[in-house]
Structure 1
């Protein structure tokens, strides 16, 4: 958590070939140079190993923020909208043609997603802003990575609060971007055949990021994941001399927030399942399902904590078993154990270890939306409460189905602000009144087609996706 998006790449274009401006003739060329920087940054980011991409995200964000104001200036000029109080006349010379690589469409395993040809400036706006939303989500992932490590208990309270606040801010920014694109798509309908910028997928991404931001709100004051991380930290010796300190939490409020997150995740799953008429990546759909399960299980856990604090340990255990059922793990009742058996537990343990390795390597972790981590918290509490109930309280454990079925509605926490399209400053607009300089580097740089080297065929006999491991000296038979 959040979802590990892949940033798209794009082809090279020259805006002066498609647009001209009598009032600000330097605008198309300047926009071209800014876009070339972004394109180069995206290509370089794609070539980095997965463990090194997080540190490169600020450069991607900077390139996007440098290019987007010029892109919106072109769009405003074509639409006859003033920029910084100044009229910009932009004339369409011929229809814009650009290519972007889709990253959310379902593809054949082992093959890279294809590039799609687009023929409007609106499509360029949709893809660039979608890339901005993906970047905000990836920045939130990078900030939360330290909290997912097994030694996260060594993180100070200030560092933990800073990481969570930064991640929440980035997710809210991503939600604002996707919500803006949804509103824009109602007036400028993007191509229905491209799932990445279809209205259904953009709506799903907006709901998904809002669900993630709501869950992070709960994570800020939830002490139990840190306790589980401390218990699993092999280097920690605190268990020898003290019990973990678990402060009281506003359990009922947190449960309502988690239910709101589950509702947003369910809505995202439904919208992404539509996909605008095309199939969306199965990993994204599975992530939304895990996100919904995790949010609902957290709600059950907090309802259980609330009842346990009132002395109703038996009902609290029932809530925990309902939470395990929501996660899709083996429940605590004898019927569940007979139904699922030991194989289900073995499969779950293997999946948890695989996810732990991904977290330690810093690669494509978090595809389970925190589902395994929540399962560990629930198992810790269930073991503790069952022991107390068997030795002290001796209360009957009711069935969890009626409890889960009668949960209240969710409660919203965030009120995201709409994304404000950035505009160029007046002095920059004034500078572009001058005609373009023929000696400008943007005129002289011949940019090759996007990912040209990546479109080459795989070496003979190579496993798909491993052509980078083959060099010219090793490609021949002799």
Structure 2
């Protein structure tokens, strides 16, 4: 987590071809110029190898934030609204023709990029630009969290860990604020969106997803167990050998309720994404991620309820909570540990860590995930299920051994425990998004007529890296045009 979004790309577009601004004649040209920067930045980001895309995210975010004030100015001008008490008058000459390549929509042709979405409304241009900014902010939160999961280098310190989580949380809350604004704006739309990526249900699902992941980060900030599990696999860290994690009892119960709030957000996002029909369906990978996030959040809540019970001396109940967490994750146990006492209650660790083919499969998936983290690829695409399974299995082995040798308490059935789980508790609320406005001096400068034409050639393809050089000789093999004679033949 957070979700590894793929940023969309877009075609060229000249605002002067569709809009005319009588009050600020240079506004369409300025908007086209900054949109061209956004287009080039997105294309350069897409062409980078996945391991090199994280450093370019700041450029993507900056270009979008610079472009949006001009886009909002044209949007305000169409309604003859004022900016800084200065009225803008924009006239629509013809419907715009813009293309965006969505990345969340279900692809009818596996192995190929999804088809481009053609939009003929400035409103959907605004939706694509803002949703792309929200996705880029989410990717920035992933980049900030990446060092916390590395096991091939020295572990980060406490201060660096807190800073990384705080930065990632800010990015997610900013994304949620943008999506909340889009969600309220989508309520006034009466047309069908051109792609599922910007449909009202998808926007609301993305907002719930951002809040769920931000809530889980509030828990991760003070949750030592994921770091302990990672340290056991890190040969550069030995602190776990002599320093046991400690969580106060009150905070353990609070963390459990925060995890339940995250699960509620994830469940809402999954319901919205599954029912999305306007503009097409969303990709199955994205929908599955939302369900995995719900399961992980509930399993993490079960773990914290177990920690709360263990701190109170109820080791049997604590083990039952861990079994409930494994059930939420879909991890089978052998045998079923509902009820019983001591060793006879099935106090061994879950079968997911046993031998045989199942153990080999689990070990292979863990190594594959560690390699993904090391290479910075689509790590965490399972919404943290593997990480939470590791933590629960570690605590289960420890508490089961303790219960078998010292406490010998009965392990109650997990059904009644799940039935008495409380409601979630919210910790974050997205701030109202304030659309960026042009500075008064910038707006005043655009009253002058444009100095050049607002034209960008004939590149309507949103992936012009495949464009063919028109100067190539007919029938020539690509890249060998210099070997062919052109012009008037010389027979001497």
TM-score, length basis structure 2:
0.88
Residue equivalent to 1:421: 435
Query: Could you list the per-position Cα deviations for residues 83-138 of structure 1 after superposition, in whole angstroms to 9, with x for gaps in the alignment?
Result: 12110010001111100001111113211111011100001001000101100100
Residue equivalent to 1:148: 149
Residue 415 of structure 1 and its aligned partner are, at CA, apart by 1.3
Residue equivalent to 1:56: 56
For 2:299, which of 289, 297, 300 is the aligned residue? 297
Matched ranges for 1:163-202 at <5 A: 163-189=164-190, 191-202=192-203
Residue equivalent to 1:215: 216
Residue 398 of structure 1 and its aligned partner are, at CA, apart by 1.1
Partners of 1:400 and 1:153 lie apart in 2 by 39
Residue equivalent to 2:160: 159
C-alpha contact 1:122 1:188 (8 A) present in aligned 2: no
Partners of 2:95 and 2:460 lie apart in 1 by 21
Q: Relative to structure 1, is the Cα distance of residues 411 and 185 closer, same or farther in structure 2, using a 3 angstrom cutoff?
A: same
Query: Could you list the per-position Cα deviations for residues 174-211 of structure 1 after superposition, in whole angstroms to 9, with x for gaps in the alignment?
Result: 11111111111111345345101101111111111110
Matched ranges for 1:39-438 at <5 A: 39-107=39-107, 108-151=109-152, 154-189=155-190, 191-238=192-239, 242-248=242-248, 250-277=251-278, 278-331=280-333, 333-334=335-336, 343-438=357-452
Q: Relative to structure 1, is the Cα distance of residues 472 and 398 closer, same or farther in structure 2, using a 3 angstrom cutoff?
A: farther
Equivalent residues, number: 457
Query: Could you list the per-position Cα deviations for residues 359-391 of structure 1 after superposition, in whole angstroms to 9, with x for gaps in the alignment?
Result: 110112110111111111101101110111111
C-alpha contact 2:352 2:362 (8 A) present in aligned 1: no
Partners of 1:256 and 1:356 lie apart in 2 by 29
Name the stretch that deviates more: 7-16 or 183-192: 183-192
Partners of 1:159 and 1:8 lie apart in 2 by 32
Name the stretch that deviates more: 445-454 or 124-133: 445-454
Query: Could you list the per-position Cα deviations for residues 249-276 of structure 1 after superposition, in whole angstroms to 9, with x for gaps in the alignment?
Result: 6110000000000000001001001123
Query: Could you list the per-position Cα deviations for residues 328-376 of structure 1 after superposition, in whole angstroms to 9, with x for gaps in the alignment?
Result: 1123644797999955444333322221111110112110111111111
Name the stretch that deviates more: 230-239 or 369-378: 230-239
Partners of 2:334 and 2:26 lie apart in 1 by 69
**Residue 100 of structure 1: SS of its match in structure 2?**
strand
Name the stretch that deviates more: 333-342 or 76-85: 333-342
**Unaligned stretches of 5+ in structure 2?**
339-349, 469-477, 481-492
Name the stretch that deviates more: 151-160 or 101-110: 151-160
Residue equivalent to 1:461: none
C-alpha contact 1:153 1:230 (8 A) present in aligned 2: no
The structure with the largest helix share of the pair is 1
Query: Could you list the per-position Cα deviations for residues 134-177 of structure 1 after superposition, in whole angstroms to 9, with x for gaps in the alignment?
Result: 00100000001111112576211111011000000000111111
Let me know the Cα RMSD of the aligned residues: 2.2
Residue equivalent to 2:488: none
Query: Could you list the per-position Cα deviations for residues 214-235 of structure 1 after superposition, in whole angstroms to 9, with x for gaps in the alignment?
Result: 0000001101111111111123
Q: Relative to structure 1, is the Cα distance of residues 381 and 427 closer, same or farther in structure 2, using a 3 angstrom cutoff?
A: same
TM-score, length basis structure 1:
0.91
Partners of 2:234 and 2:190 lie apart in 1 by 51
C-alpha contact 2:337 2:411 (8 A) present in aligned 1: no
Partners of 1:33 and 1:193 lie apart in 2 by 25
C-alpha contact 1:147 1:160 (8 A) present in aligned 2: yes
Partners of 1:17 and 1:193 lie apart in 2 by 21
Partners of 2:30 and 2:255 lie apart in 1 by 49
Query: Could you list the per-position Cα deviations for residues 6-52 of structure 1 after superposition, in whole angstroms to 9, with x for gaps in the alignment?
Result: 10000101001100111100000100000000000000000000000
C-alpha contact 1:318 1:397 (8 A) present in aligned 2: yes
Partners of 2:15 and 2:112 lie apart in 1 by 31
Q: Relative to structure 1, is the Cα distance of residues 237 and 254 closer, same or farther in structure 2, using a 3 angstrom cutoff?
A: closer
